[in-house]
Amino acid sequence: MEAVTTLPRGRALTVADLESMPDDGHRYELIDGTLLVTPGPSLRHQTVSMELSVLLSQACPPHLKVLAAPFDVVLDDQTGVQPDLLVAGRGAFTENNLPTAPLLAIEILSPSTRLVDLNLKKAAYERAGVPSYWVVDPVEPRLIAWLLQSGVYERVADVEGDESWTAASPYAVTVVPSALLG
């Protein structure tokens, strides 16, 4: 039997609407009241996610936690996202979501999410006060990182292939994009 969800009409969706939807295996996110549905990730995407998760976890201080998608992050009443990876304080989580901005949000680009990750999500994270935002392109391979400065993201890194970059925030970790391909 298939579950059917009726969405409200004539108004922007809210995180409460999103939470009432059945768990049907799709990845749902909400940005400024607009529902986004994305397909499952590719092998390359998942490899980068796993390698980066291990790298971040090994360097992570004990008072912080690294999580991989799917896990809901509620940025405001009309914006609930699932970054591919996130870092937040251990005490900031509830059992079901992160009800505040993470310290670091990471998105791994895919053909279906590239424009959203580089534009809509970047703007949503910036508006919500996420201090660090990274985007990883698994095809090039490339990492671009932004740091929130006076409420605006400033690019602090753009490295490709075998180039390395050491993040200072939320903690020191060195990333080499080509090494994320496993």
- Across 77-172, the runs of DSSP E, i.e. the strands, are 79-81, 85-89, 97-98, 104-108, 132-137, 142-149, 152-160, 165-167
Domains of the chain: 39-181 (3.90.1570.10)
The pLDDT of residue 25 is 67
Task: Tell me the pTM.
Answer: 0.89
Residue 65's beta-bridge partner residues?
88
69: left (phi over 0), alpha (psi -120 to 50) or beta: beta
The pLDDT of residue 151 is 97
- Walk along the chain (182 residues) and give the pLDDT tens digit of each residue: 445 456 667 788 888 887 877 777 677 878 888 888 877 889 999 999 999 999 999 999 999 999 999 899 999 999 999 999 999 999 999 999 999 999 999 999 999 899 999 999 999 999 999 999 999 999 999 999 999 999 999 999 999 999 999 999 999 999 999 999 98
The pLDDT of residue 5 is 59
Question: For residue 121, with 0-12 CB atoms within 10 Å meaning exposed, 13-18 middle and 19 or more buried, which class applies?
Answer: buried
Going by their DSSP bridges, the two strands 97-98 and 104-108 should be labelled as: unpaired
Q: Which amino acid is at 129?
A: G
The pLDDT of residue 72 is 94
The pLDDT of residue 1 is 41
The pLDDT of residue 21 is 76
d(CA 70, CA 91): 19
The pLDDT of residue 34 is 84
- What letter does residue 51 receive in the DSSP assignment? H
Contacts 24+ apart (CB under 8 A), 113-117: 113/38, 116/31, 116/36
